[in-house]
Chain A
Amino acid sequence: MIPHLISIAPFAHADFWLGVGIVAGIYSIFTLGLQLNVGFTGIVNLGQAGFMAIGAYAMAILILTYGWSPWLALPAATLIAMLAGVIVAMPAVRLRGDYLAIATIAAAEIVQSVAQNAISLTGGNNGLLGFDAAWQTIQVWLLGALSSIGLGDMDQIPLFAVTWITFAVLLAILVTLQRTPWGRVLRAIREDEDAAEALGKNTYAYKVQSLALAAGIGAIAGYLLALNITLIYPGTYSADFTFIGFAILVLGGLGSYSGVALGSVLLWFVLEGARFVDLPLSADKVAALRLLIVGLVLILVMALRPQGILGKREEMVLRG
């Protein structure tokens, strides 16, 4: 279907699919954090969208209100998001699984409420604009370079490239971390926390670190999302983002970092490809249909193939 479409209107559709690729890449980065928490540490973080929001808002506020350079604001905002991760994690990871899930989603809803209501800080529902001047400059320069090789029409290429390079770097870091003693302790916590504790590991500290790191990764996804829509407003960071992330997570497979990219590309290919099917539905119903598909993915994967596409079967089999 896609090659056919591209052959009809090569550049328009190529640009459309590049746009889908950007969204899929942002979700991939976002879900890497979930994979670290859920797939490799066994803590169910339902508040990831909240950390993403904290990162994006902190970045924009530092640039707009305090006049910071983006190169300073980005690392600072990442640290702020990680600090928020520590603050949420310190009490939350002491809780049993389902309580932890509820506590993290409640924390994210508080962030959402602050974004909507602390208008002097966040702009309320109007959001924040104009934080991306530096990126616009870079983008113009990159597009100039692209047009010299005949790709000037495809103005999505710069963000697409930045998104997927960021994903690749984070993927490499996480896969490497997983092979260190630190990563092995996380896995041990997921498998049997009491045993890890009995071996003298401070499982509490490891779980806090896992959540803080995931929060930082969420913040990075938040910057790219903000660049993509050139606006930061509360609705973008709703719980829907987290749950779509979970659909990607289980689709790709728990315990597989590269599965995250596969799940994200697959899900967004289906969700956006649905645009090419003419449906007699209004815009809000099409939006609902997409989220309905997300729900079906969660149900079907969990019921029929809980290890996902790339998940390891042996890690799912009941033992003991």
Chain B
Amino acid sequence: MRPPRHPPYLLMLTTESSLEPTPSETAGLGLSTGARGLALLGGVAVVVLILIAVKGYQPAAQATANGLVAGTYFALGAVGLALVFGVLRLVNFAHGDFLTFGAYAALLANAFFRLPIIVATAIAIVATALLGAILELAIWRPMRARRAGGLQLLLIAIGLAYVIRNGIQIAAGAEPRSLHVDVTSAVSFMGGIRLGTTELTVVLIGLVVLVLVAIMLSVSRLGKEMRALADNVSLAEVAGVDTGRVIISTWLVAGGLAGLAGVLVAAAVGVLTPQFGFQLLLSLFAATVLGGIGNAYGALAGGLLLGLTQEWSTLFIDPRWKLAVGFAILILTLLIRPNGLLGRPALK
């Protein structure tokens, strides 16, 4: 089959890859990344040891623990972004606001209806998963049927981000709010690392879910179908994958994880405003790009790595530059290894 020529005007974003992803872009979804993952883990260990040698045990260990907290919710947020990009080739600018939506759904259940935080979290996961699925049915599926181009989809996603975020602000107001979680008690462990009990809970829940997601992707039928679709839509369809069902499932998983991530951020940070998801979005992009955009395993690793690097940077420079460090990492990765740390080197 001839490749489509003349990317039409509105198809100017990602046209080629959306139709025929090159092997280098999708290889990262295979398990062949295991070795790279191990190498990455080794690299992290070496950096921690160097930091301990340079800055002393307690500061370095504390920064690493803080980095794990942030990295956990970066990773949970980023994996949904990567799944949607992998399966649909859609850069979902509204994904950050999915996190906000989840956090406010939990807030409504927890602070307004006085439900326990566990129930509120479950409600947030279900509500955000449904939001993803409803938007797929109401907007994305009809737009795909009309063969909308990349720029059209990107701008619709940005528009959705504005509608969700500002809809929340109109409903809930702009003032900072808090979930009913324990923000005062803290624990010390491993010789002087101090974390809030809530932060520790967030890390533990987050890491467990991340492992479950990785297992789901590698062994479950749905995970395999998602990866097949990300690899090559036509081949997956020929092989009998029900694309409509897999796409809906992708949105459910991405939305559910975003909802959970939103609650975890709100719990760990302590306060939330309608803006927080969008402010987090670029960090989530940074995490997905670090891991190789569209590569779900990569996004897990990229999120953790981004959180760690940002916190490590505070050992050397003022913490207020933390965000800028994240964006600089994003740009550097795009320049040096556009296919991410876990992807193969770029062809182009």
Contact = CB atoms under 8 A, between A and B. Distances in A.
Contacts of B160: 295, 299
Contact of B334 (A99, A299, A303): A99
A97 B13 contact: yes
Interface string A189-224: 011100000000000000000000000000000000
27 contacts: A91-B331, A96-B17, A97-B150, A98-B154, A99-B289, A99-B338, A102-B91, A103-B331, A109-B323, A109-B327, A110-B327, A110-B331, A117-B320, A190-B12, A191-B9, A243-B158, A254-B10, A281-B170, A288-B165, A295-B162, A298-B155, A299-B163, A303-B139, A303-B156, A318-B8, A318-B11, A320-B4
Contacts of B286: 106
Interface residues of B, number: 56
Interface string B135-150: 0000100110001111
A254 B9 contact: yes
A106 B156 contact: no
A113 B323 CA distance: 8
A109 B284 CA distance: 14
B34 interface: no
Interface pairs A-B: 6 shortest CB-CB: A295-B162, A298-B159, A97-B13, A288-B169, A299-B159, A320-B6
Contact of A103 (B13, B142, B334): B334
Interface in A207-257: 243, 246-247, 250, 254-255
Interface of A: 38, 42, 44, 91-92, 95-99, 101-103, 105-107, 109-110, 113-114, 116-117, 190-192, 243, 246-247, 250, 254-255, 281-282, 284-285, 288-289, 291-292, 294-299, 302-303, 306, 315-320
B129 interface: no
B104 to A, nearest CB: 13
A193 to B, nearest CB: 8
Interface in B297-348: 318, 320-321, 323-324, 327-328, 330-331, 334-335, 338
B287 to A, nearest CB: 12
**Overall SS of chain B's interface:** helix
B161 A295 contact: yes
Q: Which of B4, B7, B152, B338 has the most CB of A within 10 A?
A: B7
B323 A98 contact: no
A98 B159 CA distance: 16
A306 B167 CA distance: 24
Contacts of B335: 91
A306 B148 CA distance: 9
B78 to A, nearest CB: 13
B330 A103 contact: yes
A283 B251 CA distance: 34
A281 B327 CA distance: 36
A92 B323 CA distance: 20
